Amino acid sequence: MEFDTIAAISTPMGEGAIAIVRLSGDNAIAIADKMFKGVGEKRLKGVASHTIHYGQMIDPKTNEIAEEVMVSVMKAPKTFTKEDVVEINCHGGIASVNRVLQLLLSNGARLAEPGEFTKRAFLNGRIDLSQAEAVMDLIRAKTDRAMNVALGQMEGRLSKLITKLRQEILGTLAHVEVNIDYPEYDDVEEMTHQLLLEKGTYVKEEIETLLRTSHQGKILREGLSTVIVGRPNVGKSSLLNSLVQENKAIVTDIPGTTRDVIEEYVNVRGVPLRLLDTAGIRETEDIVERIGVERSRQVLKEADLILLVLNYSDALTEEDENLFQAVEGMDVIVIVNKTDLPQQIDMNRVHELSQKHKLVSTSLLEDKGVDELEEAIASLFFEGSIEARDMTYVSNSRHIALLNQALNAMEDALMAVEIGTPIDIVQIDYTRTWELLGEIIGDSVHESLIDQLFSQFCLGK
Ligand code: GDP
Ligand code: ZN
């Protein structure tokens, strides 16, 4: 395939002593060469692949020296994009990096779009689709754990698993063919039935396991949707602030000033939270506040985690009790706030109401209990799950959708086997599963399945 030459700064802006500007495409070396002045008239064109060269960047129009640089030359196809790649290392300051980039852009390179290097790697067949998507996720990853999920996927963990499952299906179908064409046993039908059932169940269970990780995977990527609820003035906004540690939500003494939903992202011990502070959920005649309340209810329904805030220095009210009812069956952490003030709340009743929930006491004013709260959030999320980094999480919604479809197809197939559907019809569902799994890794090559079967299994004769 042929593409134009793209360029972009590939290190974070303004950080580190060295910054890298990357070029990829057929003209990468030629463009860099135009403005490179090495020691003793050295030209980049002639150098060996995967070598580094010290020199200066000059503006070819004025011959002025722009930067002192180290230039890495990597020739196709052994590069990330499978194209010629040049990396220009220069001083990390924004001005200096920009100068180099501008020079490249005015000498034939085009500014890369976000993720375009990765897209090239995919289009040039260097990585498969799930790996390409993982790189995209990596660029967007919000926390370390999310980063690990994306990294694992990029290294091809998901691809390997999917490939293994597809091979299992293919192998089974091949085996069935052999059984039918060359019956060595008397009871071919029984054998085939058994085989299809066994392998099909295995594939189905593996897909289910993968899908089970998808909820956590999605959360790691998009944030655990967390809603803070409670009566006015209990300390919802203070809690949000304390978690965010910057004062974006307005904190006041006047009840009900949180008119609408405020949203913040925070990283709590590796769990990304999308925090939502709502106007108190309660009946009210105030029109403005009503809008807030109605939205609150909706937000509540879609939440992954509820932080229910109570006031330690106030008696429990009917409103509090109603809140407990509203969040029944959800993941809830109950927070008894304002413990620095005299107790008015009935803690026995609070414990009763919180039987199924975690319970934490805080004084947000004195910055007490926030650690325990964060601990509760993290343990709630990771409870029972194996250490996150070792798992293959599915976090991409396209992958999840395809896995669900593949699961349905496999379930149909198993059902068909059970009720004694003719083999050639059962095969269609197996093939369908195989195709759907293939879409995850971008294997859209529509070679006939039979061709594939023959390339893998020598049926000979
Ligand atoms: P919201 O209406 O639920 O969002 O409550 P706010 O966060 O706006 O807090 C209401 C008032 O309670 C503010 O004046 C806060 O400073 C105060 N407040 C919050 N947390 C505490 C606490 O732990 N102790 C005390 N004494 N006051 C608090
Ligand atoms: Zn508030």
Residue 48 near residue 77 (C-beta atoms within 8 A): no
CATH at 80? 3.30.1360.120
Task: Ligand 1, residue 253: give the atom nearest the CA.
Answer: 14
Q: What share of the chain is helix, strand, coil (3-state, %, to 5)?
A: 45, 20, 35
Over the stretch 187-223, which tens digit does the pLDDT of each residue have?
666 778 888 999 999 999 999 988 877 766 666 666 6
Query: What CA–CA distance (Å, rounded) separates 404 from 251?
Result: 44
Q: Please check whether residues 241 and 355 belong to one and the same domain.
A: yes
* Count of residues making up the chain: 461
CA nearest ligand 1 atom 6, residue: 235
Helices 397-418 and 188-222 sit at what angle, rounded to 10 degrees? 160
Residue 409, domain extent: 151-218+396-456
Which domain-ending residue is among 348, 382, 416? Answer: 382
Pocket of ligand 1 contains residue 363 by CB under 6 Å: yes
| Gap from CA of 237 to ligand 1 centroid (Å) | 7
CATH at 241? 3.40.50.300
**Phi/psi of residue 444, nearest 5 degrees:** -100, 15
| Gap from CA of 337 to ligand 1 centroid (Å) | 8
Q: What is the pLDDT of residue 251?
A: 39
Pocket of ligand 1 contains residue 231 by CB under 6 Å: no
Over the stretch 2-14, which tens digit does the pLDDT of each residue have?
679 999 887 654 4
Sheet holding 65-74, edge to edge: 36-38, 51-58, 65-74, 85-91, 18-24, 6-9, 110-111
Cα angle value 231/235/240 (rounded, 5°): 115
Going by the annotation, the residues of the binding site for Mg(2+) are 237, 258
Bridge partners of 324?
none
Which is more confident, 266 or 374? 374
Bridge partners of 265?
274
Pocket of ligand 1 contains residue 236 by CB under 6 Å: yes
Q: Please check whether residues 235 and 334 belong to one and the same domain.
A: yes
The stretch 323-331 carries a mean pLDDT of: 87
Q: What is the pLDDT of residue 144?
A: 60
Pocket of ligand 1 contains residue 250 by CB under 6 Å: no
pTM metric for this prediction: 0.50
CATH at 418? 1.20.120.430
Q: Please check whether residues 209 and 248 belong to one and the same domain.
A: no
Q: Please check whether residues 242 and 377 belong to one and the same domain.
A: yes
Over the stretch 387-401, which tens digit does the pLDDT of each residue have?
333 456 676 667 788
Distances in whole angstroms, Cα of residue 456 to Cα of each of 23, 119, 171, 450: 40, 30, 8, 10
Q: Is the ipTM of this complex over 0.90?
A: yes
Which of these, 60, 63, 54, 44, lies nearest to 89 by C-alpha position? Answer: 54
| Gap from CA of 321 to ligand 2 centroid (Å) | 19
3-state DSSP assignment of residue 148: helix
User: Over 183-215, what HEC string results?
Assistant: CCCCCHHHHHHHHHHHHHHHHHHHHHHHHHHHH
Q: Please check whether residues 236 and 346 belong to one and the same domain.
A: yes
Task: Ligand 1, residue 252: give the atom nearest the CA.
Answer: 8
| Gap from CA of 317 to ligand 1 centroid (Å) | 17
Structural tokens at position 64: 């002025």
Share of the chain above pLDDT 90, in %: 25
Which is more confident, 386 or 352? 352
Query: What CA–CA distance (Å, rounded) separates 167 from 323?
Result: 51
3-state DSSP assignment of residue 135: helix
Query: What CA–CA distance (Å, rounded) separates 286 from 307?
Result: 25
Q: Please check whether residues 356 and 423 belong to one and the same domain.
A: no
| Gap from CA of 359 to ligand 2 centroid (Å) | 21
Q: Please check whether residues 176 and 199 belong to one and the same domain.
A: yes
Q: What is the β-pairing status of strands 224-230 and 271-277?
A: parallel
The stretch 251-278 carries a mean pLDDT of: 60
Which domain-ending residue is among 125, 160, 184? Answer: 125
Q: Please check whether residues 207 and 227 belong to one and the same domain.
A: no
Q: What is the pLDDT of residue 183?
A: 62
Q: Please check whether residues 229 and 332 belong to one and the same domain.
A: yes
Mean pLDDT lowest for which of 37-51, 82-96, 136-150?
136-150
Query: What CA–CA distance (Å, rounded) separates 439 from 129?
Result: 9
Task: Ligand 1, residue 239: give the atom nearest the CA.
Answer: 7
Nearest ligand by distance to the CA of 361: 1
Q: What is the pLDDT of residue 201?
A: 95
Residue 153 near residue 137 (C-beta atoms within 8 A): yes
Query: What CA–CA distance (Å, rounded) separates 31 from 63?
Result: 15
CA nearest ligand 1 atom 10, residue: 233
Q: HSE-up of 271 (CA within 13 Å, CB side)? A: 22
Which of these, 239, 295, 298, lies nearest to 264 by C-alpha position? Answer: 239
